[in-house]
Amino acid sequence: MRQYFLVILLVLINVACEDESANNEESFTWGEVTTINGEVPPGELSPLQDVTTSLDTIDTNGNRLIITRGVREAGTRVGIHVHKYGGHTCVLSGVITDFIEGMEPKEFPAGTCYYMPPNTIMSAANLGDDPAILLDTFILPPNESMITILEPGWSDVSN
């Protein structure tokens, strides 16, 4: 009887692990998104300017580690987006306001960093008068995108 219980338990654990693995590997399907917490984030849609790559390598786990530096001009914001694998931004100068679904907007002045949770709708804006210099870090599987823009019209401003 005990052996049957162990076999059933192992089967259930295996099925649960397969389900969890499938959930982690599945791509979320996102539609167009125009608001965060019911409001359009402030700022003019604009891509990050003067982007340079500081590091782009494969780590010991086979993941891509990429660090980029860019300028978010005053009065601009990135389109509403998600990061499938999350990410991390440090504000080197200026101030960035981060808008995340389900949270209050939060300001990050120079010298601070913030985490961008995976598969979470967000946008970031420079609502100040001076450019903001940002350092972004992502760890993700090779050949995966760092960002997926969900806001309609983004391709019009990013080209």
pLDDT in tens, 90-141: 999 999 999 999 999 999 999 999 999 999 999 999 999 999 999 999 999 9
Residue 32, SS3 per DSSP? coil
Which residues partner with 7 through β-bridges? none
Which residues partner with 71 through β-bridges? 49, 133
As a whole number, mean pLDDT of residues 83-92 equals 97
- Return the pLDDT at 13: 33
Strand bridging mode 132-140 / 64-72: antiparallel
Higher per-residue pLDDT: 61 or 13:
61
| Contact (Cβ atoms closer than 8 angstroms) between residue 100 and residue 122 | yes
As a whole number, mean pLDDT of residues 56-71 equals 97
Residue 22 has pLDDT above 60, yes or no: no
